[in-house]
A and B are shown apart, each in its own frame.
Chain A
Amino acid sequence: MSKVLSLNNLGKSYKQYPSKFSRLIEWTLPFLGLRHSKKWVIRNISFDVTQGETIGIVGVNGAGKSTLLKMITGTTKPTEGEVSRAGTIAALLELGMGFHPDFTGRQNVYMSGQLLGLDTDTITNLMPEILAFADIGEYVDMPTRVYSSGMQVRLAFSVATAVRPDILIVDEALSVGDVAFQAKCFRRINDFKEKGTTILFVTHALDDIVKHCHRAILLDKGSIAMAGEPRAVVNEFRDRMFGKSKKRVDSLSERLNKPDDNELSCDDIFHTKPLYQTIEHRWGTRAAEITDYIIKSDDQNYPVTIFAGRELDIKFRCVFHNDIESPIFGLLLKTPDGVNLYGASSRELMHENLGLVKAGAVVDFTFKLKMNFNTGPVLLSVGLTHTDEAGSDEPLDRRYDSILLNVDNEKKFIGLVDAETQCYIEVNE
């Protein structure tokens, strides 16, 4: 298999000047030396891609994925190192950005095609096929400013993929179209793949990476943190994301070795624990505080992956600063897009009242539950509340979306919740 793309020690830095005038001085009086400092956004990137490979690129926002792709397509020049390409590249990044709003779809097809370096006759020949694929009907001869964003993407995708490229870069721009069109796009991408097109695939849908890619690359802070078998890379990415930083992962393994790890702290160290999410929204009177937690499953503390159906122990420590009458502890599990999966509180679960809790008291709440959900991330919100004299709930300490769990369900089904369906078949006759 031949190499179609080769990145050699690629790096990109932006020049930062201390003031508006220092660039002028640097340009006009070069003998005074350089005045800018370099801000590296990506560095030391080397990998080769062979023909027909499908490669997934993952990384958090700001890890340098876009910069890397722009250097691969050539819109941005690398500061150091080089990209060598054998063959044509089509990028499905920012689809339809080059469209002129006053021109008709047809004219824009010509312009996009010409920008790709196609000559007018070729585009004229490809036109019927492009229009058939985009399937936007009579809108073809209307100005693109009246198009919906979905229609723009359809037309742009059709042009960009009208000629099979040697390398195709796919990112989440595609998610704009409707599901039927997306399916059509993926059919075309798969068709290209079979004919030998190399595909670079950038997405946050990690399962897709595992499903479609031969190889995956994890970018972290502008360099390759890991490259190799997709499942391993995706798992490493999850570890990093949920563990938040390498340091914390280290301290986790240190703590795992200590027998007293189950000890919870009365100091507020909630945010230092593994699986904690900085996106948390915390509010409440803080008359009592949730200071620490531990999550256990299968004798493993703070498991990165929670297997569906296994019992999960979550224990929270609450420190009371004031006297509180009948505090209630609640938890809520949600999908990242905000669908409630499950929620309950100690009031419903225990059927009995905790009574008055004195100032200075330390109370631990433990929940045992089974995560019978489908594979995917789950956000955990917790909260401590009490009912005041007027009968309304007063939040003491609510920590919304503070912990991210990652469920792995070996069963295959559609939807969020495992209905534990059993299927019987009787063939009569």
Chain B
Amino acid sequence: MFSLLSAILHYKGFIIGAVKRDFQARYRTSMLGAVWLVMQPLAMITVYTLIFSEVMKSKLPGINGEYSYSIYICSGLLLWGLFLEICGKGTSLFIDSANLIKKVNFPRITLPVILVLTALINFVIIFILFAAFLIIIDSLSPLQLLMMVPVVFTTLTLAAGLAMVLAVLNVFFRDVGQLITIVLQFWFWFTPIVYPVQIIPNWARGFIEMNPMAVTVDSMHKIFVNNQMPDWTSLLYVLILGLVLLILGLYLFRRHSGDMVDEL
């Protein structure tokens, strides 16, 4: 574990450089550049707000604010976006970098670190826009931002842990990559992000509560929509689950990183 940390520290130049390059690579050939970074989530939020709040007239039970549904969707979707980016790209992490891994000797552990950092920066950029919107409609307090930190951290841990396990498995069993795209689709709709949890029939609520992402998304809703404290205990369980996955992922990585090069 210590050797992994010291490798990360020694290669911090590479990690920072790679994160920078990742952003550059995404937008350097397009004319509008960084605008696209914001466009995609903005489009998604618009679509969901229009369909659910205007067309389907969904209402959040107990909350009556002009923008409450938009805030509901945005806060959940932003967090899901972070989770999705890490899990989605993470699963094919080693396969996508096969060329580099096979040719150059460098600590492979830097690759997930780069991924998590990139996703986090992406999240922060989009969140700043969301925060600006909240400030305009005058419903943002510093306490909310403070409470969000552990929620984001928990999501990050969960996503990184899951991605690490899947990334290693995917090298040896390529079916994992195919499977996970389908699972993530279902997972999104089984998480109350675009719809309120109250529309779920009672018998199914139990299943939703077992979904760790439902817990973190619900925390975001509590913070930004209801202006309440999240349920810290449930969040702690998710954090523990994330840490267990992360340790399992690192164990798998350490154990199979030698064989990994042969399979790429």
Residues of chain A whose beta carbon lies under 8 Å from any beta carbon of chain B: 14-15, 23-24, 27, 73-77, 89, 91, 93-94, 97-98, 100, 102-103, 107, 110-111, 114-115, 117-120
Give me 19 other A-B pairs in contact (C-beta within 8 A), A97-B104, A114-B14 excluded: A23-B173, A73-B105, A75-B103, A75-B104, A77-B257, A77-B261, A97-B99, A97-B103, A98-B103, A100-B25, A102-B29, A103-B25, A107-B24, A111-B14, A111-B17, A114-B11, A117-B13, A117-B14, A117-B106
A110 contacts B17, CB within 8 Å? yes
A74 contacts B105, CB within 8 Å? yes
* 13 cross-chain CB contacts under 8 A: A15-B259, A24-B173, A27-B172, A75-B105, A75-B261, A89-B105, A93-B103, A98-B99, A98-B100, A103-B24, A107-B24, A114-B13, A117-B106
A120 contacts B17, CB within 8 Å? yes
B262: Cβ under 8 A from any A Cβ: yes
A119 contacts B13, CB within 8 Å? yes
Contact indicator per residue, chain B 76-116, by CB within 8 Å of chain A (1) or not (0): 00000000000000000000000111111110000000000
A115 contacts B14, CB within 8 Å? yes
Bound form: Cα–Cα A89–B104 in Å: 11
Closest Cβ of chain A: how far from B258's Cβ, in Å? 3
- Total A-B residue contacts, Cβ distance less than 8 Å: 67
Given the contacts A14-B262, A15-B259, A73-B105, A114 and B17 also touching, CB distance less than 8 Å = yes
CB contacts (< 8 Å) of B104 on chain A: these are: 75, 97-98, 115
Closest Cβ of chain B: how far from A339's Cβ, in Å? 35
B205: Cβ under 8 A from any A Cβ: no
CB contacts (< 8 Å) of A73 on chain B: these are: 105
A102 contacts B106, CB within 8 Å? no
CB contacts (< 8 Å) of A15 on chain B: these are: 259, 262
A103 contacts B21, CB within 8 Å? yes
B59: Cβ under 8 A from any A Cβ: no
Closest Cβ of chain A: how far from B141's Cβ, in Å? 39
Bound form: Cα–Cα A94–B102 in Å: 10
CB contacts (< 8 Å) of A115 on chain B: these are: 14, 100, 104, 106
Q: Which residue of A lies closest to B25 (CB)?
A: A102
CB contacts (< 8 Å) of B101 on chain A: these are: 75
Question: Size range of the interface on B?
Answer: 20 to 34
Q: Which residue of A lies closest to B172 (CB)?
A: A23
Q: Which residue of B lies closest to A27 (CB)?
A: B172
CB contacts (< 8 Å) of A89 on chain B: these are: 105
Bound form: Cα–Cα A408–B257 in Å: 49
Closest Cβ of chain B: how far from A349's Cβ, in Å? 54
Contact indicator per residue, chain B 23-48, by CB within 8 Å of chain A (1) or not (0): 01100110000000000000000000
B105 contacts A111, CB within 8 Å? no
Interface of B is mostly: helix
Bound form: Cα–Cα A357–B18 in Å: 77
Contact indicator per residue, chain B 182-222, by CB within 8 Å of chain A (1) or not (0): 00000000000000000000000000000000000000000
CB contacts (< 8 Å) of B13 on chain A: these are: 114, 117-120
B258 contacts A77, CB within 8 Å? yes
Given the contacts A14-B262, A114-B11, A94 and B21 also touching, CB distance less than 8 Å = no
CB contacts (< 8 Å) of B12 on chain A: these are: 119
A117 contacts B100, CB within 8 Å? no
CB contacts (< 8 Å) of B25 on chain A: these are: 100, 102-103
Bound form: Cα–Cα A73–B11 in Å: 17
CB contacts (< 8 Å) of A23 on chain B: these are: 172-173
B18 contacts A75, CB within 8 Å? no
Top 9 A-B pairs, shortest CB-CB distance: A77-B258, A114-B14, A74-B105, A119-B13, A97-B103, A114-B13, A75-B105, A114-B17, A120-B13
Closest Cβ of chain B: how far from A193's Cβ, in Å? 22
CB contacts (< 8 Å) of A91 on chain B: these are: 105
Closest Cβ of chain A: how far from B157's Cβ, in Å? 25
Bound form: Cα–Cα A273–B112 in Å: 57
Q: Which residue of B lies closest to A102 (CB)?
A: B25
CB contacts (< 8 Å) of A120 on chain B: these are: 13, 16-17
A117 contacts B10, CB within 8 Å? yes
CB contacts (< 8 Å) of A107 on chain B: these are: 21, 24
Bound form: Cα–Cα A57–B157 in Å: 47
* Residue among B12, B25, B262 with max Cβ neighbours from chain A (10 Å): B262
Closest Cβ of chain B: how far from A19's Cβ, in Å? 13
Given the contacts A24-B173, A103-B21, A103-B25, A117 and B261 also touching, CB distance less than 8 Å = no
Closest Cβ of chain A: how far from B34's Cβ, in Å? 16
A117 contacts B21, CB within 8 Å? no
Bound form: Cα–Cα A100–B17 in Å: 13
CB contacts (< 8 Å) of A94 on chain B: these are: 103
Bound form: Cα–Cα A97–B24 in Å: 20
CB contacts (< 8 Å) of A93 on chain B: these are: 103
Q: Which residue of B lies closest to A74 (CB)?
A: B105
Bound form: Cα–Cα A107–B18 in Å: 11
CB contacts (< 8 Å) of B258 on chain A: these are: 77
CB contacts (< 8 Å) of B172 on chain A: these are: 23, 27
Bound form: Cα–Cα A102–B105 in Å: 23
* Residue among A14, A100, A115, A117 with max Cβ neighbours from chain B (10 Å): A115
Bound form: Cα–Cα A119–B10 in Å: 9
Bound form: Cα–Cα A89–B105 in Å: 10
Contact indicator per residue, chain B 158-192, by CB within 8 Å of chain A (1) or not (0): 00000000000000110000000000000000000
CB contacts (< 8 Å) of B106 on chain A: these are: 115, 117
